[in-house]
Structure 1
């Protein structure tokens, strides 16, 4: 259950930046996807997850790679003879150079599709992952290593492995439809924020563990939210309600980044003032806090988990809300965000004062509470 302790939730820099988005939403694509969401275990993306999983970096990091379960055992057995291939060593060197290369490799995998044993450029996604935090790239790594990836997939019989696990993948997708409540979350967020989105896609992999990320693509007056998430969980030691809350939190705290973003940007100057003292808000000794290098990113991480608690307030009884609130405070504190308790108290207070207003509207007043208490 390590993923709930040390998640690294990252925005792609392409979020909301038309200069960096490399996608093509045709009228046909828009019509097919408007108002809809889907869950997908993308073939090329799964190949990249597998290739990273068998690098030395992947084998040593059970927060990045889910190493429990039969699927991981099947993977290690099938791909063990190919762990020393040159392209695997290359990917390992990229992971050693920067963990953000995990995003660049897996995030850009959707820019290609398999046609037989060849990778064919996607008509929709051209260069979907160009930047993470303060790091940018100017070449799609899938394009750069296309021939090597094709050769590895053929030599390692990846397509057979993928086909042999199709039923397993279908079960993961079915579990999302039954247990994750994406439609309910989407509706609540659009009722409570001014932001509106056109479509959602969840890119899932059985190998994703703690490293989840989200972003949005905007093109031709159409906005698609993408989330990169692990399968939903069903821990036998938790009750059905506890499992529901856990799975909802993993997804919700990715989705709501895309709604928190706009009001945060509108109030960036005040956020920079309130969260200027980094050591007050961040325990830099905690793993993963490097992904939040400035006040805005720190605030957004507090806020995305805080908004999840507002969602719970509207959907669960007070006793459940109290338990979830305490759990979130504990998780956030362990992750390196020690002020979650006071943040949560101020959040519930401002929501109580403005129960029927969009969250965007009371952002300035909410932030002012922290100034007044100094």
Structure 2
């Protein structure tokens, strides 16, 4: 790093403010006036900091300091007898400022950064939600799922429930509006459908209804490849989505079905134990759980689950972490009469757990990325691309093996023996035969054996043995 902490408080001196235009794409400003300081360090303080940092120049030409952006946030540069202050006016997008800087006669560039942020949680939101495990069918999320179900490409790709009373009611209500131009925008080539599906569905969380208008929420960007401008399939078509909702009377449909949604939410909450999952995972990975979890689902989703995480801090600078989980609802299992309630609960738990645990597994896997890249480079051995092409890197393939096998350990600790045995068998079949992770049975058996033989060790501590087994098995 190009700076060090200095435990002193500099005197605050008069401030000159640089005003910038309103929020937009990433913005860079090049200031012409040279900042001259006779000392060999410059004091810089972002407004969330209690004391400035003293940034020194050595062999580097650019002296840099950045912080996540926030509404009204400023950064102050302290000079000999003056100071300048810059306000974060491009929030939530990235904003950079370059200044010519002279320290003790030597010339540098000073770069100050307000980093882009995908979400910003106000203090009252944090106070209200810290410590809660929420289960929701958000209105805009259900709208996004209905649009995807009705889209020209949607039925071709599966992943959505296309039978049952609710599906029939959706089709009956919205069939007269299939000519709406929003469906032309959603008619993407099949090769890009999966990415577009996630991008459209999950970024619906960035909006909520105010009357007939869609207005922003604390989320700016949930999923996608453009994390600089936050461009995504939902945001880019917001006008069409808004018009469809008004024209089709979607809000009336949603309100009419609130009793049904509430019944599903109650069952989903009863069968899911996200706090318990986090406690189990925190023990195995020595990582604290999230301050808030939101289990987001739709009665339309059959598969294609995901998780996202966000961070912030309250007015006392206390950190806040939130986890979003996008999964199917309980009716996927209640409509299977051959299952008992324990099996249904266990299957739903598996869906949820294997999203929650990505937030624990992925960081630990990163510690072994080089070895895993080498071992899992042979895709035909571990996961033929024809069946698992969505997972594009060796690390991503390993993480799928690991997150699903980890559920077997959780099931053994959580459910009675017959239920755990049933759940493990179902997960092995799903991964080895349906998802394309062809060596999953062997991997799963090995992990269970390693954990049984090393009961005093956490899963995180067993990673060297797990990776070692993979290396030997692949030879």
Q: Per-residue deviation at 1:283?
A: 2.9
Whether 1:205 and 2:304 are equivalent positions in the alignment is: no
Shift of 1:359: 1.6
State how far apart, in whole Å, the 2-side matches of 1:297 and 1:26 are: 34
**Counterpart in the other structure of 2:55:** none
Gap change, CA 1:35 and 1:291, over 3 Å in 2? same
Pair 1:252 & 2:334 matched: no
TM-superposed deviation, 1:79: 0.4
2:214 is the alignment partner of 1:100? no
Q: How does 1:299-314 map to 2 (within 5 A)?
A: 299-314=398-413
Paired position in structure 2 for 1:13: none
SS in 2 for 1:100: helix
C-alpha distance in structure 1 between counterparts of 2:446 and 2:155, whole Å: 42
Greater per-residue helix proportion: 1
Matched, 1:353 2:453: yes
Q: Deviations over 1:8-60 (max 9, x none)?
A: xxxxxxxxxx9664100233222222221101111111111111111111233
Deviation string for 1:268-323 (max 9, x for gaps)? 1111122121111013333xx11111110100111011110000121234444333
Report the counterpart of residue 71 of structure 1 in structure 2. 166
Change (3 A) 1:324 1:48: closer
Question: Which deviates further from its counterpart, 324-333 or 110-119?
Answer: 324-333
CA distance in 1, matches of 2:234, 2:450: 46
**Stretches of structure 1 lacking an aligned partner (at least 5 in a row):** 1-17
Task: Give deviations 1:111-132, integer Å, cap 9, x for gaps.
Answer: 111000011111x111222339
Are positions 1:142 and 2:242 aligned together?
no
1:109 to 192, 204, 220: 204
Q: Is the 8 A contact 2:203 2:235 kept in 1?
A: no
Is 1:168 the counterpart of 2:260 in the alignment?
yes
Q: Is 1:191 matched up with 2:289?
A: no
What secondary structure does 1:25 align onto? coil
CA distance in 2, matches of 1:353, 1:21: 44
TM-score, scaled relative to structure 1: 0.88
What does the per-residue CA deviation read over 1:93-144, in whole Å, with 9 as the maximum and x for residues that have no partner? 376643211111111111111000011111x111222339xx9984143332
Greater relative contact order (CA < 8 Å, ≥ 6 in sequence): 1
TM-score (norm 2): 0.70
Residues 9-158 of structure 1 aligned to structure 2 (within 5 Å): 21-61=117-157, 63-93=158-188, 97-122=192-217, 124-131=218-225, 138-158=230-250
Aligned residues: 351
Q: Which has the higher strand share?
A: 2
Q: CA deviation at 1:327?
A: 2.2
| 8 Å CA contact 2:135, 2:294 repeated in 1 | yes
Of the structure 1 ranges 19-28 and 299-308, higher mean CA displacement relative to structure 2 is found in 19-28
| Separation of aligned partners in 1, 2:342 and 2:165 | 26
In 1, the alpha carbon distance for the partners of 2:228 and 2:409 equals 34
Does residue 224 of structure 1 match 2:322?
A: yes
* Structure 1: distance between partners of 2:472 and 2:232: 47
